[in-house]
Structure 1
Amino acid sequence: MTLRVLHLSFSSAGGAGSVAKILSNQQKLVGYDSELLSVIEENLRAAPLSSVVHTLAAGIDESVVKNRNFPAPISLVRDHVSPSLAEKLESADIVHLHGINGALSLEELARNWPNKKIIWTLHDMNPFTGTCHYSLGCQKFAAGCERCPAVKRAFQGMVTDSLSSKIRNVSALANLAVVAPSTWLAKQASASQVFHGHEIHVIANPADPSYFGAPQDSPPQIAAANYTAVVVAKNLLDPVKNVNAAVGAFLSTVGDSTSAQLLLVGEGGKAFESSRVHWLGQLSAKKLIPVLDSADGLIVSSLAENAPLVIAEAAARGVKSIVANVGGMPEMVQLLGQGEVFDSPDQLSNILSRDMIAPHNSRKKARASLEKNASKSFSPQAVAAKYAKVYT
């Protein structure tokens, strides 16, 4: 009998949606009846009219509910506008949850299918906090989320109620398996009231298979440089991505005689442009691949991250990552066997200074090794095989 797997994510784009799509496609290749169910195909920022109700709810969360001094995203109102997915869930042998805010009511799941086989891949901290997607050091999710710093005082009671609801509904799921893409996130989840006592499996997120193949597009028309760094983010102006720190460290490192450039990929990069910093805009995977092929290093200076796919994608092209010491990123660098971790802009500058004078021959040799390690840990085939063991 063919196993029917239903992957569920609010969007089929973005980090969670991309992982769900890659995994579902790979499962189809090995004989699963696998499907990805999503509410929208884009993200709300790019296509706000794709779901007006969710756009309004997200806007209320951001502009009305959230404390303006808290930079990470929250989901509170959006969790109350989930559609009913009863028909789809009924037919699935396994329901695989990804980014479910606005896509699924946990209460409905616990009430109607408490014995259904559920796999829940955690893509950030929101599944076990009252509202935030990254707590930024706050540990109140381990003790009730009282007086939550992420929201204005009037909404703090809603946050504690939200966490209590998650605890109650998750405890009702008798056949739940939880997966985290990093040991860091697994430890955070284990410390929470929602997943305390659950076994948390650690399985890396898969990279898009196109990153493991030959490039299908030409590189951008940019002057050649002795050293090229790249920053990739959906929204380069997102304060959590901290792109300003990466740009500042890069510019403080390059001298007048240094032939080096920084390429920015994503929305909102025009403000950073200079003679050494080039904004390429948003790029598809097909167009990003030749950019990565021309790069020597990927900089990820985020204030909070779990296990960003761009690190695996860059590694698949032989590009080492230089990452901030947050979340699961140092673990990814360690797993790949190459890369650098920094704790401050000064450390980032020192790393860039050293890399800029590294011989080209040594860089080429390192790229081949990195590509091999990326395939071993982050290819869809490798990741799907690990999930198959959790499914049984």
Structure 2
Amino acid sequence: MNVLIISTSDIHGGAAIAAFRLMNALRAKGVRAKMLVRDKRSDNEYIMQAGGKIQNNLHFYGERGQIFLQNRLSRENLFDVSIANTGISVTRLPEFKRADIIHLHWINQGMLSISEIGEILASGKKVVWTMHDMWPFTGICHHAGLCARFHHSCGNCPYLKAPLENDLSHRIFRKKQTAYDQGKIEFVACSQWLGRLAEKSPLTTGRRVVSIPNPIDTQRYFPKNKEEAKQKLGLPANKRIILFAAVKASDKRKGMDYLIEAGKRLNNKEVLFLIAGTNGNEIAQQLPALSVNTGFVTPDRMPDLYNAADVFVTPSLQENLPNTLMEAMSCGTPCVGFNTGGIPEMIDHRKNGYVAEYKDADDLTQGLQWILFEADFRQLSENARKKVLSEYAEEIIVNRYLTIYAEQSQ
């Protein structure tokens, strides 16, 4: 079986990392899996870059420019939406022609156009699409928030400056319908939460939607001695460490404002905040407690950070099934997060972490306080690791995908 995974990137961003891990897990199982990307950042021999730098930049800026023009020259929400009006012609590539299964992941920002998705479906190949956000079943947005217009055919989009019934979101929605009708497609949601939302969209009507979480290598992310991990990173052994990590730590959607507020309310001299991600200094400077900003951390170094931490916090306002949460739990580190998206599917409240009320800084603070100073840490840690081993380990996830691939082959 030849599987071609298509993704915008290989290791940049949570969706890309999830796709990359799946490819490696499939290959370990003996499947001939490769990955086709626009933005290659690893040296993995099974990752193929499609298109040249100039061509790919034209696709990227061509889409962003069109959104800018269509939205009355406004930069607001410029990266909250995608229209996929341009992209790479993958159906002409030898790798595509050799593949038995085409497995789409996050393919926005110039990787695939909607028209090309139609061409992929029209090829008659078996197509599986793992959804990492809501874009595959909405008009243009990646996260609809409280908007339910995608239950019909979008229009009157809150992300647009001039929302109308027949606005950009509605037109792209109809374009997707036409493309999806070109062939058969099976949707996979990374969380049950996303799967339930997808089933409400006409874009999935008559098509199967299943929920399969992202895989994780539990042999790479595993519990280590916490004191040794702190010493290795040069962190004080007498501090309780709260870890926050995101590719862009200052992204408002990652909840930095709530993290800062919780830090102010916690205000404990025994606590140290460890911030990992670009622009982390924007958070560190506003925290009253001692803080360390590591900047961007490569994936191979993250297990040390998770093991050095006493709790991992993810105050994200929009999440599907965050890799960081899974990684921390796999290292036996209890987690705190808001009750949103797929987070409550991962954190079992007061069993392996704490699920705080959405956008409630007081409850977020309570969760951190409880794990650090009140709960049975050893039990929380053991429960977190067990949850990952039983539900997210690579072997389990790969077998579920192999079942889908086989069903698609019938």
User: Normalising by the residue count of structure 1, what TM-score does the alignment of the two structures yield?
Assistant: 0.88
User: CA separation in 2, counterparts of 1:61 and 1:326?
Assistant: 32
How many angstroms does 1:228 deviate by?
Answer: 1.3
Q: Which residue of 2 aligns with 1:24?
A: 23
Checking the alignment, whether the CA contact within 8 Å between 1:125 and 1:185 is kept in structure 2 is: yes
Q: How has the CA–CA distance of structure 1 residues 50 and 341 changed in structure 2, closer, same or farther, with 3 Å as cutoff?
A: farther
User: For 1:198-257, what per-residue CA distance to the aligned partner results, in whole angstroms no more than 9, with x for missing partners?
Assistant: 2211111012452148699873222234421111111112121121211221221123xx
8 Å CA contact retained: 1:189, 1:196? no
Which residue, out of 110, 128, 134, partners 2:143?
A: 134
Question: How big is the shift at 1:342?
Answer: 1.2
Relative to structure 1, the CA distance from residue 323 to residue 109 in structure 2 (aligned partners, 3 Å threshold; closer, same or farther) is: same
| Residues 63, 288 of structure 1: alpha-carbon distance in 2 compared, 3 angstrom cutoff | farther
Task: Identify the match of residue 358 of structure 1 among 350, 359, 374.
Answer: 374
Map 1:162-201 to 2 at 5 A: 162-174=172-184, 176-201=185-210
| Among candidates 259, 270, 285, match of residue 259 of structure 1 | 270
**Residue deviations 1:92-127, cap 9 Å, x none?**
100000011222234334346433211110000011
Q: Check conservation: 1:190, 1:197, Cα contact below 8 A.
A: no
Structure 1 residues 111 and 290: alpha-carbon distance in aligned structure 2, compared to 1, 3 A threshold: closer
8 Å Cα contact 2:121-2:127 kept in structure 1: no
142-151 or 111-120, larger mean C-alpha shift = 111-120
2:332 maps to 1:322: no
- Cα pair 1:226 1:356 within 8 Å, conserved: no
What secondary structure, in the 3-state scheme, does the structure 1 residue paired with 2:335 have?
Answer: strand
1:342 matches 2:356? yes
What amino acid sits opposite 2:175 in the alignment? S
Per-residue CA deviation, residues 253-301 of structure 1 (Å, 9 max, x unaligned), is 123xx30111111011112225522211111122221111111211111
* Inter-CA distance 62–55: structure 2 relative to 1 (3 Å threshold): same
| Alignment check: 8 A CA contact 2:314 2:337 kept | yes
Q: How many residues align?
A: 379
Say which of 269, 272, 279 aligns to 2:280.
269
Q: What amino acid maps onto 1:267 in structure 2?
A: T
Residues in 2 aligned to 1:171 and 1:80: alpha-carbon distance in whole angstroms: 18
Please state whether the residue corresponding to 1:283 is helix, strand or coil. coil
For the residue of structure 2 that corresponds to 1:38, the secondary structure is strand
Residue type of the partner of 1:56? Y
Per chain length, whose mean CA-contact separation is higher, i.e. which structure has more relative contact order (CA < 8 Å, sep 6+)?
A: 1
- Contact 1:61 1:74 (C-alpha < 8 Å) held by counterparts: no
Cα contact 2:131–2:187 (8 A) shared by 1: yes
Amino acid of the structure 1 residue aligned with 2:5 = H
Q: Is the 8 A contact 2:273 2:292 kept in 1?
A: yes
RMSD between aligned residues = 2.7
Distance 1:336 1:391 in 2: 37
Separation in 1 of the partners of 2:63 and 2:281? 26
Classify 1:376/1:276 alpha carbon distance in 2 versus 1 (closer, same or farther; 3 Å).
same
Quick check: 1:265–1:280 contact (8 Å CA) kept in 2?
yes
Separation of aligned partners in 2, 1:61 and 1:212: 45
Matches within 5 A, 1:104-183: 104-111=112-119, 113-114=121-122, 115-153=124-162, 157-174=167-184, 176-183=185-192
Per the TM alignment, residue 369 of structure 1 is displaced from its structure 2 partner at its CA by: 3.1
Counterpart in the other structure of 1:202 = 211
Uncovered stretches (5+) of structure 1, i.e. residues with no partner: none
- The AA in structure 2 aligned to 1:124 is D
Q: Secondary structure at the match of 1:153?
A: coil
Q: 1:90 aligns with which of 73, 87, 97?
A: 97
User: Structure 1 250/381 Cα, relative in aligned 2: closer, same or farther at 3 Å?
Assistant: same
Residue 333 (structure 1) aligned to one of 347, 362, 372:
347
Q: Does 1:36 align with 2:35?
A: yes
Change (3 A) 1:154 1:349: closer
Report the secondary structure of 1:150's partner residue. Answer: coil
Question: What's the counterpart of residue 286 of structure 1?
Answer: 300
Instruction: Tell whether the 8 Å contact from 2:68 to 2:78 is kept in structure 1 after alignment.
Output: no
Q: Within the alignment, does 1:56 sit opposite 2:66 as a pair?
A: no
**How much does 1:37 deviate?**
0.5
Taking structure 2 as the reference length, the TM-score comes to 0.85
Deviation per CA, 1:175-210, whole angstroms, max 9, x where unpaired? Answer: x22111111100110001211332211111012452
1:373 to 387, 391, 396: 387
Deviation above 4 Å: which 4+ runs of structure 1? 61-72, 213-218
Which of 261, 265, 268 aligns to 1:248? It is 261
Counterpart of 2:81? 74
Structure 2 CA distance for aligned equivalents of residues 245 and 223 of structure 1:
25
2:399 maps to which residue? 385
* DSSP 3-state at the match of 2:198: helix
Structure 2: any 5+ residue segments left out of the alignment? 43-52
1:354 and 1:336 map into 2 onto residues whose CA distance is: 9
- 1:61·1:75 contact (CA, 8 Å) conserved in 2? no
AA in 1 matched with 2:180: V
